[in-house]
Amino acid sequence: MNYLRNTFLMSRFKLTLEYDGTPFAGWQRQEGLPTVQGTIENAFADFLGEAVTIWGSGRTDAGVHAKRQVAHLDIFKPYKPIAIQGAINKRLRSEPISILAVEEVTSEFHARFSAKSRSYEYLILNRRAPSALDQTRTWWVIPPLSVDAMAEAASYLIGHHDFSSFRGSQCQASSPLKTLDLLSVMQEGELIRIHAHARSFLHHQVRNIVGTLKRVGENKWSPQKIKDILKAQDRRAAGPTAPASGLYLTNIEF
């Protein structure tokens, strides 16, 4: 009877949040390590007086940031979204995490499986002087980069391809085939912004692409070499993995 009553009273809530990933060992809960998921779950446990599980739309790696991560959880007590947001943000004041919005959704909504696409942004600080403010939020690259060459190289990656050459060694995806809907490279003063949009990504795919585009920007490789790297289907053919500090999860579409 209690189970049936609690199930009937269950409410599912969608959380939209941002965080600085610098102090965390990634999104996913890990025993003995600080993680974004674990920190938020602890805040909810303190608020609700019971353990909860939060489901995220994607697992960001250690040091990766999020501007609009999405998660959901089920609560078996009557709370208004605004009350949840205020209570959790109060408990997260000492952490670089902020709950931007809380919405009540139907039980069919799932932060991961309902997601239709994901967007990432990578920031390169391209100048001689290091940053005093954004050392953990950009990739500092001293040699001037050719943005035009990087943009041309990026254009060859758009579409449906076997991205084995850009796949991390610990990737658990069943297939290296992915469709990259957008990959753009733009310069704004000393910042180079790389945007990527797809339904889903392989582990380290964006960071491996950025590391490869940097080599093109340094004129070490021609833009056309990207075609050969794709055909190789070998991680050793591509460039290095760019640091986590410059990567941001920027949006999830449902």
The DSSP bridge partners found for residue 253 are: 117
What angle is formed at CA 34 by the lines to CA 63 and CA 206, rounded to 5 degrees? 25
Query: Could you tell me where the DSSP H helices lie in the chain?
Result: 2-9, 36-48, 81-91, 147-155, 205-217, 225-232
Active-site choice (20, 61, 134, 181): 61
Whole-number Å distance between alpha carbons of 179 and 200: 8
* 3-class SS letters over 72-113: EEEECCCCCHHHHHHHHHHHCCCCCEEEEEEEEECCCCCCCC
C-beta of residue 69 within 8 angstroms of C-beta of residue 18: yes
Whole-number Å distance between alpha carbons of 241 and 144: 19
61 has catalytic annotation: yes
Give me the active site residues, please: 61
